[in-house]
Chain A
């Protein structure tokens, strides 16, 4: 059974710092990996999606990398801002038959950016 682990569970940094969130998964047979953002009491917003054949994806100040063979992904946030404060979730989609493609999520990293 696929397991996704995110480290750290919580992180608090001053505004303007660059930071890295880590995600690891136990089964490298994945279709893709996604990073989501979740604000308190809200749904999930997709930030970046990396296909299994890709190494990284970038969107603005966000960069996500994927090393499928080692079962790791990182989310790099440059020049952090207070508005980046949220919980960041990593999720993998497994290669499976029958069309089942639900995501397996980590527990998330709760990020606070101090003004």
Chain B
């Protein structure tokens, strides 16, 4: 089975940088992705790492170390609108087609003035 652990809550001030960690135990690994979810809203894809290293997309970057079964999401120049839950996720390739996502426990990010 798949298991992904994240800190439950992180608080930071506007303009700061914050890192959200994710450690995983998986049977088969095809990459780590990150989703953002505002309260009551839909999860929205942020980034994906298949290989070790850093992927940058604007203010958001994601890092993966497969040897450590570890990844993180880095958010820079924090804005109030970044207050949301952030989930790491791994996928299983379905023999019938498609990819099933297993999400981490989720990290609630609170951005303060």
Partners in one complex: no
- A-side residues, CB < 8 A to B, are none
- B-side residues, CB < 8 A to A, are none
